Amino acid sequence: MSFLDTDIAVAKNMFEVNFFGTLAMTKAFSSLLKDSRGAIVNIGSEAGNHGIPCTDCYSTSKTAVSSLTAKLRKELSPFGVSVIGVSTGGVGTTSLQNASFTDLPTPSRDPPAKETLKRMVNGTRTVNAWNIDRYAKVVVENVCRRKPKMNLLAGSSTLKAEACLWKLGSVSFLLVNEMIRPDQHDTAS
């Protein structure tokens, strides 16, 4: 949802979970990580890198996680701790079906968001989304490598295309989206 439509309490909760939760876990286990020369794997999102429509607060919280990951990597590398950032692209899940941020106020300050949110919630937003098993396998294989990638992209990269379409503007987004994916455009609303 756009910043202007977002309930501040929901935005704070998103940061509490995504950013402060990541920081709290890292602090809680930092001694063990240093002693074992272990690894931290932070799950970020391509949404944070590309401004995906209707994900303003979520995207910003995931950008904060990416920044935290980079800073922790520098802080913990002298202790032999690896800090891996996974930038998650399109993964086919239904994780948003119970999300509290998917109900737009009426009237919304961001009318095209309604259609995008519908596709996000029912899992049809991302074309060529990876299934969750493929995603998990790629992440785990990377972590277990002798020299893992410190910044891993896992999931389909169609989020970049969707962000570009959104930046064309509200009307253009809806028209181009209809032309590219007519089978996923719900005209019954």
Q: Where in the chain are the domains?
A: 3-184
Q: How far apart are CA 138 and CA 130, in angstroms?
A: 11
pTM over 0.85: no
pLDDT at 182 (0 to 100):
41
32-84 pLDDT tens trace: 999 999 999 999 888 777 666 667 888 899 999 999 999 999 999 999 999 99
106/65: higher pLDDT: 65
pLDDT at 10 (0 to 100):
85
Please identify which of the residues 34, 62, 147, 167 carries the catalytic annotation: 62
CA distance to 48, 55, 113, 130, 158, per residue, from 169 (Å):
19, 16, 12, 27, 18
158/75: higher pLDDT: 75
Provide the mean pLDDT of the chain. Answer: 75
Please identify which of the residues 58, 71, 114, 160 carries the catalytic annotation: 58
pLDDT at 36 (0 to 100):
96
Selection from 67-81, 97-111, 175-189 with the highest mean pLDDT: 67-81
What are the DSSP calls for 52-110, one per residue? Answer: -TT-HHHHHHHHHHHHHHHHHHHHHGGGT-EEEEEEE-BB---TTTT-TT----SS-S-
pLDDT at 125 (0 to 100):
52
pLDDT exceeds cutoff 60 at 5: yes
113-157 pLDDT tens trace: 566 666 655 555 555 778 889 989 999 999 999 999 999 988 887
Range 10-26 average pLDDT: 93
- Answer yes or no: 71 catalytic: no
- The arrangement of strands across the sheet holding 82-88 comes to 39-45, 82-88, 151-154
* Spatial contact of 121 and 96, defined as CB atoms under 8 Å apart: yes
CATH node for 3-184 = 3.40.50.720
- Answer yes or no: 135 catalytic: no
